[in-house]
Amino acid sequence: MKIRTRFAPSPTGMMHVGNLRSAIFEYLVAKKSDGDFILRIEDTDQERKVEGAVELIYETLEKCGIIINEGPNQGGNFGPYVQSERLELYQKYAHQLVEEGKAYFCFCTEEELNIQRQEAELRKEAFLYDGRCSHLTKDEIKEKINNNIPYVIRQKMPKEGISKYDDLVYGEISIENRFLEDQILLKSDKYPTYNFANVIDDHLMEITHVVRGNEYLSSTPKYNLLYSAFGWPKPEYIHLPMVVDENGKKLSKRHGASSFADLINQGYIPSAVVNYLALLGFSPETNEEIFDLEHLIKIFNPKRINKAPAVYDVKKLQWINSHYIKKMEFNDYVSLTKPFLEEAYDLKDKNEEWILELLKIYQNHISHGKEIVEVTRLFFNNDFELDEEKEAILKEETTDIVLKTFKEEISSISDWTIENISIALNNTKEKTGVKGKLLFMPIRIKVSYQMHGPELPNTIWLLGKETVLSRLSK
């Protein structure tokens, strides 16, 4: 049997990194066995639907290299792939369960349900709908429907026994049926609930493996009871560990750079983001950590998905992204970083050679595109303060003679080239007898206000002779 997985996002805005991680794992599960990856848009919550969000989903998957085998923009034999276009199907199957006595019309108002909730609070119990409408007679139901009284359709849930299922990551999961509420299948607006639509769609689209976050571990028995009510085979379940922030709290949309678009807007590379997210909750057999998508498919094993929460570590993401930046073709790197530079600084008096040299020397020093703005600030501003460590280096016994000699060497340069600046540095070493850290560190701090950075001759050339002499004189 061919493995089929689905990614079923709701079009409610930017794609959160947690959602994208689910898509990546769903894709890996399918492609590991040469299966199909299906995109389905779950837009039954019309109030939260955001204009243009569906196009963002397409764009995100495309940028990440995730190929859709079937979907709204791709077609397929199991469409439509947008839930709002499948409403007749949900109504058909909900009414089928009513006719078979496995579901019922519920006419309880929100006020009545609130009273039941308050009574449960007084008893210090979790609220579960008491199923009173399941006892209505056919005549009572017919009268209420004829009088246009709003209703939902609820599934009759067992009140005794235990529901169990096996998850590939978490093993056997069980829940006592007495804790399961008679779940709503169709809402009063005739739209399906999330749980109901998922089961109908997954069955009709022949989904074999359901991959999703572990927040659904306890609700999966509800899904399985629906499969049983229809007499349908159940899919395999793979629940992914939760993604948390550095404080152990669930990663939310309020967390910095928590959407894929946020990361791209900060100059992260899509393939690096995919690489990082695939390692959130998955442990490869080796210590290797840099993988393209094709390599990920080869080494992926769902049995190596972890149970423990995965920490969204921005520093680890930056470390992985920096590897991708170092390997970029220079023209691609320029396309990534130059727009940030142009937005932050006035480059009118800078020629193309200068700009390209500036970008070039930092290709091995930045972790994301926008970081180019901060690391190059020394070329556009003079308002820097030295910390105690830098001040201490400038107070070394040899510093004065090094700076004095280097200033003389720089002053004598008539042809301002990187080669001549290198000669000036070498002459300073020869004349002072100072070398290594005691030679280069004071000069770097004095001209760039930094202890470390790209090649010193290139940095000095970019600063320009006038600026370098001015800073050496301070």
Q: What is the pLDDT of residue 45?
A: 78
Domain ranges in the chain are 4-83+243-311, 86-240, 328-379, 388-473
Q: What is the pLDDT of residue 116?
A: 87
Q: Write out pLDDT tens, residues 63-77.
A: 999 999 999 999 999
Which of 253, 307, 435, 437 does the annotation list as catalytic?
253
Is the pLDDT score of 48 beyond 90?
Answer: no
Q: What is the pLDDT of residue 292?
A: 95
| 3 phi, psi to nearest 5 deg | -75, 135
CB 78 within 8 A of CB 70: yes
253 is catalytic: yes
The SS3 call for residue 434 is coil
Quickly state the pLDDT bin for 246 (edges 50, 70, 90).
Answer: confident
Residue whose token pair is 């909900």: 94
- The domain over range 388-473 is classified in CATH as 3.90.550.10: no
Is the pLDDT score of 285 beyond 60?
Answer: yes
Q: Write out pLDDT tens, residues 317-354.
A: 999 999 999 999 999 999 999 999 999 999 999 999 99
**Which residue in 409, 174, 369 sits closest to 267, CA to CA?**
369
Mean pLDDT of 387-392: 90
Is the pLDDT score of 149 beyond 60?
Answer: yes
| 396 phi, psi to nearest 5 deg | -60, 155
Is the pLDDT score of 440 beyond 90?
Answer: yes
- The domain over range 4-83+243-311 is classified in CATH as 3.40.50.620: yes
Q: Do domains 4-83+243-311 and 86-240 have the same CATH topology?
A: yes
Q: What is the pLDDT of residue 50?
A: 83
User: Token digits for 42?
Assistant: 């779950």
Higher per-residue pLDDT: 343 or 51? 343
Percent of the chain exceeding pLDDT 90 equals 85
Is the pLDDT score of 382 beyond 90?
Answer: no
Q: Give the burial class of 40: count Cβ atoms within 10 A of its Cβ; 0-12 exposed, 13-18 middle, 19 or more buried.
A: buried
Q: What is the pLDDT of residue 252?
A: 67
Q: What is the pTM of this model?
A: 0.91
Is the pLDDT score of 46 beyond 80?
Answer: no
On average, the pLDDT of the chain sits at 94
Q: What is the pLDDT of residue 254?
A: 54
Quickly state the pLDDT bin for 119 (edges 50, 70, 90).
Answer: confident
Quickly state the pLDDT bin for 126 (edges 50, 70, 90).
Answer: confident
User: Token digits for 46?
Assistant: 């019309």
* Lowest-pLDDT range of 43-52, 192-201, 388-397: 43-52
- Residues contacting 363, CB < 8 A, separation 6+: 325, 326, 328, 330, 333
The SS3 call for residue 243 is strand
Higher per-residue pLDDT: 270 or 250? 270
Fold of 86-240: Rossmann fold (3.40.50)
